[in-house]
Amino acid sequence: MDLGLEGKRAIVTGGSRGIGHAIARALATEGADVVIAARTAHDLELAAKTLADETGRRIVPVPTDTGDQDSVDALVARTVAEFGGVDILVNSAATPWSANAPTDFAATTDDVVRHEIEIKVLGYLRTARAVAPYFVEQGWGRIINISGLGARAANSIAQTVRNVSVSALTKNLADELGPHGINVTVVHPGRTRTERLAAQVAARSAETGVPVGELERELARNSLHRLIDAREVADVVAFLASPRSVGITGDAVAVGGGVPGAVYY
């Protein structure tokens, strides 16, 4: 299936590693030119070279702090200057949820919640705000917000609030921007095999002697009984970024291998 992404111009925040990096690769493989954004310039430069060598497309690294509107505006301006416009925004810049983060009510301070909202929710809002005028003017655009299955589980106030908030942001943007030819969706990955997780599992395997495959199966508490890889999340995002996804907007797409027992409708 031709996704129709040849020549499209994309921004992927959080594109230097993990799911964001996999998404940038998927879009470029389908023919898009991609600006990848993250805070660390060195990591971005390495990621951009790797992606350009793999895909043959233009990959432009732009150091960006999505916590700052001026930085976000500069990101979009640089994209337009490099590519002549912008068609796709993938919001994937967020701090990973830490296993050491407080999860109980008593330990959930204002600052804990505020930090999660600032980066993952307001950061996504800032980038959407910056690209929207270009999308409206051309009458077409795609915004895909990467959230997480934490939106559907009460494991932590801060984690649930940040992910549910991304879903709420998505729906509001979809309803307002839809008449202008702009689709906005949210993707909920579950536990996903990324470079970070792979390194953690490998270290655990070396420490315990338990094979990597067995450790991964223990982590994969889903219907498939295996971890979903970042590239498999990226395949779904590439479709949502394409013209072929026109019938999907305002909705959440879970890419976690299925939640056993639960019925979502």
Phi, psi (5° rounding) for residue 191?
-65, 120
Tell me, what's the pLDDT at 216? 92
Tell me, what's the pLDDT at 100? 63
Domain residue limits, the chain = 9-191+227-255
Tell me, what's the pLDDT at 265? 82
Could you give the dihedral angle defined by the CA atoms of residues 206, 211, 215 and 217, in that order, rounded to the nearest 10 degrees? 160
Tens of pLDDT, residues 213-236: 999 999 999 999 999 999 999 999
Tens of pLDDT, residues 55-105: 999 999 999 999 999 999 999 999 999 999 999 999 999 876 655 677 788
Tell me, what's the pLDDT at 112? 87
Closest to 119 in 3D by CA, of 155, 65, 73? 65
How far apart CA 51 and CA 58 sit, in angstroms, is 9
3-class DSSP state of 90: strand
- Which residues face 136 on adjacent strands? none
Distances (CA, A) of 130 to 45, 112, 194, 219, 257: 23, 27, 29, 38, 33
* Cβ-Cβ contacts under 8 Å for 37 (sequence gap 6 or more): 11, 12, 13, 14, 15, 44, 61, 62, 63, 64, 66, 75, 93
How far apart CA 111 and CA 113 sit, in angstroms, is 5
Tell me, what's the pLDDT at 86? 98
- Residues belonging to the chain: 265
pTM over 0.85: yes
The reply to whether CATH 3.40.50.720 applies to domain 9-191+227-255 is yes
Tell me, what's the pLDDT at 97? 60
Which residues of the chain have a pLDDT value below 50?
none
